[in-house]
Amino acid sequence: MSLRMSVGTLTFESPIILASGTCNFGRELSEYISFSRIGGICSKGLTLSPRLGNPGCRVAETPSGMLNSVGLQNPGIDYFLQNDLDFMSSLSTRVIVNVAGHDPDDYVRMTERLNDHSDQIDILELNLSCPNVKEGCMIIGSSPKEIFNLVALVRSITSIPLWVKLTPNVTSIADTALAAQEGGADAVVAINTLLGMAIDIRSARPILQNNTGGLSGPAIKPIALRMVNECSRVLSIPVVGCGGIMNYKDVLEFLIAGASLVEIGTATMVHPTTPECIINDLEKYTAENHIESLSDIVGTLKLWGV
Amino acid sequence: MSLRMSVGTLTFESPIILASGTCNFGRELSEYISFSRIGGICSKGLTLSPRLGNPGCRVAETPSGMLNSVGLQNPGIDYFLQNDLDFMSSLSTRVIVNVAGHDPDDYVRMTERLNDHSDQIDILELNLSCPNVKEGCMIIGSSPKEIFNLVALVRSITSIPLWVKLTPNVTSIADTALAAQEGGADAVVAINTLLGMAIDIRSARPILQNNTGGLSGPAIKPIALRMVNECSRVLSIPVVGCGGIMNYKDVLEFLIAGASLVEIGTATMVHPTTPECIINDLEKYTAENHIESLSDIVGTLKLWGV
Amino acid sequence: MKKEHRAELIDNKSMNSDSSLLVFRCPEIAEESRPGQFVNVSCSKFLKRPFGVNDTDSINGTFSIGVREVGEGSAEIRSLEPGALVDVLGPLGNYFPLENAKKLIMVGGGTGVYPLHFALKEARKANVQTIYICGFRCVSDSCLVDECEAFSDRFMITSDTGDVGIRGTVMDALYRLNENEYNDATVLSVGPEIMMKNVSQWAENIGLDCFVSLERRMACGIGMCLVCTCKIKTKNHDDLYENKRCCADGPIFNSREVVW
Amino acid sequence: MKKEHRAELIDNKSMNSDSSLLVFRCPEIAEESRPGQFVNVSCSKFLKRPFGVNDTDSINGTFSIGVREVGEGSAEIRSLEPGALVDVLGPLGNYFPLENAKKLIMVGGGTGVYPLHFALKEARKANVQTIYICGFRCVSDSCLVDECEAFSDRFMITSDTGDVGIRGTVMDALYRLNENEYNDATVLSVGPEIMMKNVSQWAENIGLDCFVSLERRMACGIGMCLVCTCKIKTKNHDDLYENKRCCADGPIFNSREVVW
Ligand SMILES: Cc1cc2nc3c(=O)[nH]c(=O)nc-3n(C[C@H](O)[C@H](O)[C@H](O)COP(=O)(O)OP(=O)(O)OC[C@H]3O[C@@H](n4cnc5c(N)ncnc54)[C@H](O)[C@@H]3O)c2cc1C
Ligand SMILES: Cc1cc2nc3c(=O)[nH]c(=O)nc-3n(C[C@H](O)[C@H](O)[C@H](O)COP(=O)(O)OP(=O)(O)OC[C@H]3O[C@@H](n4cnc5c(N)ncnc54)[C@H](O)[C@@H]3O)c2cc1C
Ligand SMILES: Cc1cc2nc3c(=O)[nH]c(=O)nc-3n(C[C@H](O)[C@H](O)[C@H](O)COP(=O)(O)O)c2cc1C
Ligand SMILES: Cc1cc2nc3c(=O)[nH]c(=O)nc-3n(C[C@H](O)[C@H](O)[C@H](O)COP(=O)(O)O)c2cc1C
Ligand code: FES
Ligand code: FES
């Protein structure tokens, strides 16, 4: 019994991927966990030029969750390729590079850079969902048409497997997911954070100096599960589930709902050993329940009344 | 110092309104709290014909929240008018009738019925946001154009003040709110529940027999606050805030964000005396902070960087 | 006005492999509870947890509940230590119609025996003749055996494994009753739904009234939110039903009205 | 591999009107902590709460933190009772560069005195000469006064109200130092940001290095999430800055690098 998953042309040691922005480039976490059974790690969201991110307070605790307004602080793609990619490649896990652009041209130029390192990059994750920057990203990610155009454009210039990370802040995630598929994505990742706000009543100010931020953590799990299921029902490409996963039971829920892999974000920030604990628990669970391969349970959700 | 609020042409004893579907018609709660300082009570969502609601399990607990899939179980508007409206009117608080239709015609016919009782009805709340029924409601409420048409239609046949309850399951709540305003709404109510799912891993079944349900409770508060603020920034009509309010601090956050009144839903289900506790705490707060009128803090949010 | 109570846990003793009996001090609940009613107990989870009242002691102002550990909330409540203060709403729901009962046959399964224990004690007080039948998976799941044997006029216990009492289910015990014994009796049953369904079929077949206690996932517990509905036959329309609230219209229903 | 520790609270004593000193058993943290570092303590809230290490006792395997009650999380932690087990991550962050210090002037305000206390003790061990200045609002807010007086070569206390020590702020105490006293000293300051800013201006003006401990809202506490950034001047570019992580690049920064 192993937790290995095959998704598209790639195999993953386990379905557990470290979500973008919650583990930076893996250095800090590598002091807490071994990466050997981790399915993959997503880089912090990268942009063409270095970004300082948003000013002031960037985090607010909320019931069973948190808001962040980091705003894509990152050293820029060139610095990343020179200084961080080697480290990520050394982790013996799938390397997923998360990129975020102002406009299609940004995505193209970053993809071109990544093409030169395609031996070290397993997956290119197009972040069309960061709620903390003014241009690009979530604006593109809210429009099926723009998603289709962007994904098709990037698809046409790279052979690196392409994941599209979707925003939940839309009327129909099935529509945006379909657009990504039609554009040529190899998988969609659902979901990024929900746009939210927290207010300090003493100062009558938003706690986040960016005014709004992205809501993550268990609070959003029911929404994420619903969206993963919606995506998996309309798509023929795999879905990577994400949103509020804290333990192995949550992982099982996402797999059952239709996710072929899952990304763990906030949980790792709350307890750095979470990814490893989850993998241990999944191993125990599959053994105890005589599950030959975890992939057997992907998409096994039996909806009522259908 | 009083908590009295004037909104449109009406005054409310306090900003605390009991949200639709979480207090039925007030009978049960009247054994736990006095309604004299409650701002208003919304009836359970009413339909033209009686509805049994959805079958099977209708509630799932989630982190800091719950999913419900009641599906508008109600005795129908005629039965309500004959058997429940008198009771609601006797509560010495504003009476808000929440109606939900399959199609515009449904809303028209219900509005006509309510017109005959306009002396007992302070507000007509158009539910364009119930996520638990197949037709009407959230479908209409997801489209600014359909919202505009429906609200204008209802507006043209009634002089009862009109509130439009919005769904958060949209890309832009500013757009749907504006549509409601343009259609002639006297206020918008933001937000109804977020569509979510919970899964039982043993049976690989959704816990709710309706498969999906509406997420409410503190988990959604950051999203609700953000949406209330978005609405209040684009609208000239008042916003009624709703979503995850548990205590007086939450109420203050919503008022600061731009809500003129708030609706309390799930909190009352968790602790039936919540509305009264909140009112007591608000009285203490306004006294201690020498706030002459709570309406002074409505919309006082100072956004950063503007 | 009704209110939410803060009850102090004053005793907590393990009863069998997976359940414990918790005694709380709360004079109002002790005073008002009637057999079949339940209380809604707070824990660190978002919603309260419903438990049938197992007993009351109005002199000491206490009531007790039997808590079986099935998930995180019940595990947390079961592990509370004396002195703990918990928010409790109750008593809630309707109760067994014991007033006119001439004779009672009580059939409990699993944790169903806790609420039935309360009914049994009250029947004893009212000098009503009782037959008490309880079923468990095995001896280590059994509880309240001595108490219930002492309080009942006839007592039978069954177990799936046969390691205590009759091997089989409560049905096997019921089948042993003769007409003299069950004549004129009212049947009360609390336990797994399939058991209550079988018991009520048995009762209905021989013309007895049977009252069952339904369990539904609840939120408010007081009838406002309509999440806890039970399909109940519409009066005089066997093939129509309405959705009644387990928490407020129930949890006790006449089995003839229940759409299983 | 580093790990999250389960620490047992073994002592909790109130220190003043709003803070308490909590002693935890956790040999690893006791062994590894250095002055200026902090630990991230779990409570029932979603995120951990950061607190500076106040002291360690590697023989008994304990460390302590001073916890001021400012909101729900700190109130909960402050009210823990001995025996409580809590998840603690640490020690985290960098620490005061004490190695080459010839003389130390420590300036603490409010709860800032807790982490400084640790630095003071270590300086004493290393036989470094110390001037210790602490400022409080009033006497009932003061804490660790006797300990710090005993451990320091020169000790001054100030209060806004004047009901203990010098009436005024820590600046009024600093101004009393003469050149002999502050020459060659390194300044360490922990407290409200405005105080640290003033202290560092004083130090920079007379050519002393000053190290301050910045506070930011944190999530991971170990440098992964980038929510806790401090504006730090880019090397050799006084008018450019980068966003450094308070939890991993700090919390201790040379005041000359800080963009206040
Ligand atoms: C009227 C009534 C009386 C009851 N009396 C007793 C009793 O005397 N002794 C006893 O041990 N148990 C009793 N139960 C069942 C008890 O309420 C559940 O076992 C308990 O709520 C499970 O909580 P959990 O957190 O451990 O389980 P989880 O499965 O983690 O809970 C998740 C959610 O489902 C609900 N839930 C789970 N199982 C049940 C269930 N069987 N019935 C209703 N809600 C459920 C929980 O309340 C919670 O909201 C009664 C239930 C009802 C409705
Ligand atoms: C490196 C560092 C060292 C610290 N050392 C100490 C110490 O030794 N003694 C002490 O009493 N306090 C210390 N603090 C402050 C302490 O962390 C906060 O007072 C505490 O987190 C407040 O939590 P709360 O739940 O009571 O407040 P709430 O305001 O309810 O907390 C809400 C959120 O804001 C965060 N937060 C609130 N205030 C602060 C703050 N001042 N700094 C950072 N995060 C905050 C909380 O961690 C939480 O995530 C330190 C903070 C940092 C960053
Ligand atoms: C602090 C923080 C930073 C994040 N940064 C990024 C990012 O750079 N790129 C991205 O695609 N998603 C980013 N996310 C979103 C997460 O990858 C993930 O989609 C989201 O948090 C939901 O999952 P969770 O609930 O498990 O955290 C970030 C989330 C957090 C909390
Ligand atoms: C059990 C339940 C039933 C509800 N029924 C209705 C309804 O009939 N009509 C309606 O407009 N909203 C209904 N709602 C939504 C609430 O009125 C409210 O908008 C939502 O729950 C968010 O607020 P809260 O977090 O305070 O509960 C219902 C919510 C719950 C939990
Ligand atoms: S639990 Fe709310 S009506 Fe029964
Ligand atoms: S708290 Fe995560 S980087 Fe500092």
Give the Cβ contact number of residue D66 at 10 Å.
25
Name the minimum distance, in Å, from the CA of B59 to any CA of chain C.
6
- Closest-CA distance, A75 to chain D, in angstroms, reads 10
CA of A202 from ligand 6 middle (Å) equals 25
**HSE toward the beta carbon, residue B151, CA cutoff 13 A:** 31
Arithmetic mean of pLDDT over chain A = 96
- In this prediction, residue B1 carries a pLDDT of 65
Q: What is the DSSP string of B170-196?
A: SS-HHHHHHHHHHHT-SEEEE--PEEE
Q: Which site among B20, B27, B28, B220 would you substitute to test the C interface, given the most C Cβ atoms closer than 10 Å to its Cβ? A: B28
pLDDT tens for residues D92-137?
999 999 988 999 999 999 999 999 999 999 999 999 999 999 999 9
3-state secondary structure chain C: CCCCEEEEEEEEEECCCCEEEEEEECHHHHHHCCCCCEEEECCCCCCCEEEEEEEEECCCCEEEEEEECCCHHHHHHHCCCCCCEEEEEEEECCCCCCCCCCEEEEEEEHHHHHHHHHHHHHHHHCCCEEEEEEEECCHHHCCCHHHHHHHCCEEEEEECCCCCCEECCHHHHHCCCCHHHHCCEEEEEECCHHHHHHHHHHHHHCCCEEEEECCCCCCCCCCCCCCCEEEEEECCEEEEEEEEECCCCCCEEEHHHECC
pLDDT of residue B122: 98
Q: How many angstroms separate the alpha carbon of residue D252 from the centre of ligand 6?
A: 14
- Across C85-109, average pLDDT: 95
Nearest CA to ligand 1 atom 31: C71
pLDDT in tens, A35-48: 999 999 999 999 99
Interface touch A58/D227, C-beta < 8 Å: yes
CA distances from A112 to A77, A117, A156, A188, B117 (A): 11, 9, 11, 21, 68
Can you give the pLDDT at residue D15?
Answer: 95
Say yes or no: D102 contacts chain A, CB-CB below 8 A.
no
A271 vs D219: CB contact, 8 Å cut-off?
no
Considering CB atoms only, which of A22, A61, A272 is closest to D47? A61
Instruction: Check CB contact of D220 with chain A, cutoff 8 Å.
Output: yes
Higher pLDDT, B139 or A63: A63
**Catalytic residue selected from B23, B42, B57, B130:** B130
Block residue for tokens 């508060």: B221
Which residues in A lie closer than 8 A to residue B229 (C-beta atoms)?
A: 197
- The set of catalytic residues of A is 130
> In this predicted model, what pLDDT tens digit does every residue of A162-220 receive, in sequence order?
999 999 999 999 999 999 999 999 999 999 999 999 999 999 999 999 999 999 999 99
Cβ(D194) – ligand 6 distance below 6 Å? no
Q: Which of A133, A207, A270, A273 has the highest number of chain D CBs within 10 A, making it the mutation to test binding with D?
A: A270
Residue B100: per-residue pLDDT:
95
Protein residue closest via CA to atom 3 of ligand 4: B21
Question: Which one, of A292, A153, A149, A176, lies nearest residue A234 by Cα?
Answer: A176
- The percent helix, strand, coil of chain A (3-state, each to 5) is 35, 20, 45
Q: Does the beta carbon of D150 lie inside 6 Å of ligand 6?
A: no
| CATH match of C103-213 with 3.40.50.80 | yes
pLDDT for the residue numbered D260: 92
Q: What is the least distance, in Å, from the CA of C190 to any CA of chain B?
A: 20
Ligand 1-lining residues (CB < 6 angstroms): B 61; C 19, 38, 47, 49-52, 65-68, 70-74, 111, 114-115, 215-218, 251
Sign of CA dihedral D243, D248, D251, D256: negative
pLDDT at B292 over 80: yes
Nearest CA in chain B to A201: B253
**Inter-chain touch B297–A204, beta carbons under 8 Å:** yes
Residue identified by tokens 């579907």 is: B21
User: Between the CA of residue D6 and those of D27, D61, D77, D88, what are the distances in Å?
Assistant: 11, 13, 14, 6
Separation of alpha carbons B255 and B6, rounded Å:
13
Does A44 contact D at CB distance below 8 Å?
yes
Token pair belonging to C198:
């079988």
Contact between residue B198 and residue B67 where contact means Cβ atoms under 8 Å apart: yes
Rounded to the nearest angstrom, the distance between the alpha carbon of B129 and the centre of ligand 4 is 10
Superfamily of domain D4-92: Translation factors (2.40.30.10)
Residue D203 DSSP code: H
Query: What would the pLDDT profile of D168-217 be if each residue is shown by its tens digit?
Result: 999 999 999 999 999 999 999 999 999 999 999 999 999 999 999 999 99
Backbone angles phi, psi at B34, to 5 degrees: -90, 140
Which pLDDT belongs to residue A1? 65
Quickly state the pLDDT bin for B130 (edges 50, 70, 90): confident
Any idea which of A281-290, B52-61, B131-140, D227-236 has the lowest mean pLDDT?
A: B131-140
Q: Are strands B259-264 and B239-242 parallel, antiparallel or unpaired?
A: parallel
- SS3 call for A60: strand
Residue of C nearest to B65 (CA): C46
Contact C169, C221 (CB under 8 A): no
Q: Say which residue the tokens 């206020």 belong to.
A: B187
* CB-count burial class (<10 Å; 0-12, 13-18, 19+) for D192: middle
Smallest CA-to-CA distance from C15 within C209, C171, C145, C121 is with C145
Nearest listed ligand to the Cα of residue C46: 1
Of B59, B63, B273, the CB nearest to C219: B59
Q: What is the pLDDT of residue B134?
A: 77
> Domains of chain A: which residue ranges?
5-53+71-194+216-297
**Which residues of chain B have a CB within 8 Å of the CB of C70?**
none
Select from A266, A269, A271 the Cβ nearest to the Cβ of D4. Answer: A271
Q: How far is the CA of C80 from the centre of ligand 5 (A)?
A: 26
* Domain definitions of chain D by residue range: 4-92, 103-213
Q: How many helices (H) and strands (E) does chain A have?
A: 10, 16
Residue % of chain D over a pLDDT of 70: 100
Give tens-digit pLDDT for B54-109. Answer: 999 999 999 999 999 999 999 999 999 999 999 999 999 999 999 999 999 999 99
Q: How far is B291 from chain C (nearest CA, A)?
A: 30
The token pair at B272 is 């039936």
**Residue B229 is nearest to which of A197, A220, A223, comparing CB atoms?**
A197
- Give the chain A residue nearest D226 (alpha carbons): A70
- Give the model confidence (pLDDT) of A255-295 as tens digits: 999 999 999 999 999 999 999 999 999 999 999 999 999 99
Contact check, Cβ <8 Å, C46/B269: no
Task: Tell me which DSSP letter residue A166 carries.
Answer: P
Tell if the CB–CB gap between A22 and D218 is shorter than 8 Å: no
Distance from CA of B30 to the nearest CA of A (A): 29
Q: For residues A119 and B13, what is the distance between their CA atoms, to the nearest angstrom?
A: 68
Pick the residue whose CA is nearest to atom 3 on ligand 6. Answer: D223
**pLDDT, mean of residues C106-115:** 95
Is any atom of ligand 5 closer than 6 Å to the C-beta of C245? yes
Question: Among partner residues A62, A196, A206, which is closest to B303 by beta-carbon distance?
Answer: A206
The ipTM of this complex is 0.96
Q: Does B277 touch chain C if contact means CB atoms closer than 8 Å? A: no
pLDDT at B2: 83
Whether residue A218 and residue B253 make contact (CB cut-off 8 A), yes or no, is: no
The answer to whether the CB of D53 falls within 8 A of the CB of D33 is yes
Q: How far is A305 from chain D (nearest CA, A)?
A: 37
- What is the per-residue pLDDT for A131? 83
Element (H, E) at A12: strand A10-12
Question: Using H for helix, E for strand and C for coil, what is the string for B4-50?
Answer: CEEECCEEECCCEEECCCCCCCCCCHHHCCCCCCCCEEECCCECCCC
Q: Nearest Cβ partner of B221 from A63, A257, A300?
A: A63
Please name the amino acid found at residue C36: G
pLDDT exceeding 90 applies to what percent of chain C?
95
Residues of B in contact with A171 (CB under 8 A): 142, 169-171
CB contact under 8 A, D228 and A58: yes
Ligand 6 atom closest to the Cα of residue D221 is 1
Neighbours of chain D (3+ CB pairs under 8 A): A
Residue of B nearest to C73 (CA): B61
Whole-angstrom CA distances from A224 to A62, A241, D250 are 17, 8, 35
Question: What pTM was estimated for this model as a whole?
Answer: 0.97
The reply to whether ligand 6 has any atom less than 6 angstroms from the CB of D243 is no
Ligand 3 pocket test, candidate residues A22, A97, A223, A251, most atoms within 8 A of CB? A22
CATH for B5-53+71-194+216-297 (3.50.50.60, 3.20.20.70, 3.40.640.10, 3.40.718.10): 3.20.20.70
pLDDT tens for residues B238-252? 999 999 999 999 999
